[in-house]
Amino acid sequence: MNDNDIAQAVSNVLSKYTKTTPDVAPQAKPAATTGQESDPLDAIIAKALAQQPAISVVREPMTAGSGAFATMDEAIAAAVVAQVQYRHCSMHDRATFIQGIREVFLQDDILRTISRMAVEETGMGNIEDKFTKNRLAALKTPGLEDLTTGALSGDNGLTLTEYSAYGVIGSITPTTNPTETIINNSIGMLAAGNTVVFSPHPRSRNVSLYVVELINHKLADLGAPANMVVTVTQPSIDNTNALINDSRINMLVATGGPAIVKTVMSSGKKAIGAGAGNPPVVVDETADLEKAARDIVKGCSFDNNLPCIAEKEVIVVNQVADYLIHCMKKSGAYLLCDPKLIQQLQTLVLNEKGTGPNTAFVGKDARYILQQLGVNAPSDTKVILIETEKHHPFVVHELMMPVLPVVRVDNVDEAIELAVQVEHGNRHTAIMHSTNVDKLTKMARQIQTTIFVKNGPSYAGLGVGGEGYTTFTIAGPTGEGLTSARAFARNRRCVMVEALNVR
């Protein structure tokens, strides 16, 4: 059957289910939304369904218009219908929808609400930095401007190369950056012409559902096809597996740990994997040490070290180590020196095997962690500083908490070599403070990370105080790097033979 045959057959079935009054009344939106309830768009939906092909009849979502469905099968089916409808929207429509999503999440009250909800529900990070990250996602995620058209003309005519949608994308989001990732990926994936099915981490269920609901209400206000951004009411591992294995999903995007990235990469589908990092920061004898100290503390403590780009260990040339530590202490680092307390800290924040973090302390602030050791640190404490050797588990394993080991080395070449080792080939992020251009170049070439920040805090690599767009899906394992709309699109070639060459 061709598209027209499918359209006719399915529209005949769907006509039985098209109503002008929904059976389920829309649930009132929380007080932190814009306060504008979206009117029912049944007439528009009925017209679109009658005109466009679809795959299956979709039951109403659990809350009408929220984008949340009881099962993953229903969520995917709804996104498939929406994608078919979305193909017939103009580029102007796309731009309007993307701008609408931005406008929702550039409202301070909504930013404050989702940032607070994320901290309260996950128990990780801090409201102020999540506010910054959510605003960054809304403001600096590329939209349609990222989908540039290539043209080549000559004696044989004109060839255009354009970016086109994959179809329905399955996006698996982390508990560390739940709202930021949904905002970021919704903008980028919709800009590329796709619809998206989110599978959030269960520990961020409520805030993830709320963000998806806000997006759906705004898109409905703008007359967009229903269910372009959907999820399930009860996120779970089983639902994630169902998403991965569903044949209707054209692309998988996973933002999380090594296990989920490995799973999507072995799915047989086009996959983008944004995996773990263990970013080292190198400081040599030529660095502006006072600035380096401030930047390292700021980057390491940002959202309590949850971003995978954040400084995870410091490798410093010995001749300047004492002064760097002194400056870091002035900038909000608490130096833990007592060997017994250091051992207690190690027992506290590492898992039983000592091979990674104790999840109970991931994203907790420095003062809270110190309080568990009986240490009452100053109110401005942002980072726990520990001097250690290069094989210590704090150096080798990504902790995602503001516990920062410092390793001394004899020279900058040794520092660069060690940085490459402890980054583990994740190709994620590295930072260096130096004014020696040759050594900066050497480290950049040897470490081969997706992000390399010179003389700044790590978050400059996300466009905070540094040039460039933002993303919360940094695909080192699969090579896309800092993802944007074009990462979620296919390259297509359109050839006009012996025509439209006017030179």
Q: How far apart are CA 231 and CA 79, in angstroms?
A: 9
- The answer to whether 166 touches 489, Cβ cutoff 8 Å, is yes
Looking at the predicted structure, is the pLDDT value of residue 282 above 70? yes
What secondary structure letter does DSSP report for 460?
A: G
Q: Where are the domains of the chain?
A: 31-275+484-488, 280-469
Looking at the predicted structure, is the pLDDT value of residue 361 above 50? yes
Angle, CA of 204, 207 and 210, to the nearest 5°: 140
Instruction: Say whether 280-469 and 31-275+484-488 share the same fold.
Output: no
pLDDT of residue 276: 86
Write the CA distances from 278 to 198, 445, 463, integer angstroms.
Answer: 26, 18, 20
pLDDT per residue as tens digits for the range 288-346: 999 999 999 999 999 999 999 999 999 999 999 999 999 999 999 999 999 999 999 99
Looking at the predicted structure, is the pLDDT value of residue 217 above 50? yes
The interaxial angle of helices 178-191 and 91-104, nearest 10 deg, is 170
Between strands 403-409 and 383-387, the pairing is parallel
Choices 3.40.605.10, 3.40.50.740, 3.30.360.10, 3.30.70.1150: CATH for 31-275+484-488: 3.40.605.10
Looking at the predicted structure, is the pLDDT value of residue 13 above 90? no
pLDDT band at 370 (very low <50, low <70, confident <90, very high): very high
pLDDT band at 64 (very low <50, low <70, confident <90, very high): low
pLDDT per residue as tens digits for the range 425-461: 999 999 999 999 999 999 999 999 999 999 999 999 9
Least confident segment among 12-26, 77-91, 132-146, 366-380: 12-26
Q: How far apart are CA 51 and CA 12, in angstroms?
A: 10
Q: How far apart are CA 365 and CA 478, in angstroms?
A: 32
Look over the chain and give the mean of its residue pLDDT values, rounded to a whole number: 89
Rounded to an integer, the average pLDDT of 20-37 is 38
pLDDT band at 62 (very low <50, low <70, confident <90, very high): low
Domain topology for 280-469: Aldehyde Dehydrogenase; Chain A, domain 2 (3.40.309)
pLDDT per residue as tens digits for the range 95-154: 999 999 999 999 999 999 999 999 999 999 999 999 999 999 999 999 999 999 999 999
Pick 142 or 26 by higher pLDDT. Answer: 142
pLDDT per residue as tens digits for the range 154-176: 999 999 999 999 999 999 999 99
pTM (predicted TM-score): 0.85
pLDDT of residue 98: 98
Q: How far apart are CA 168 and CA 174, in angstroms?
A: 20
Looking at the predicted structure, is the pLDDT value of residue 73 above 60? yes
Residues whose CB falls within 8 Å of the CB of residue 81, separated by 6 or more in sequence, listed in order: 49, 52, 54, 55, 56, 58, 225, 227
State the residue for tokens 């070639």: 493
Q: What percent of the chain has pLDDT over 70?
A: 87
pLDDT of residue 39: 41
- The answer to whether 301 touches 366, Cβ cutoff 8 Å, is yes
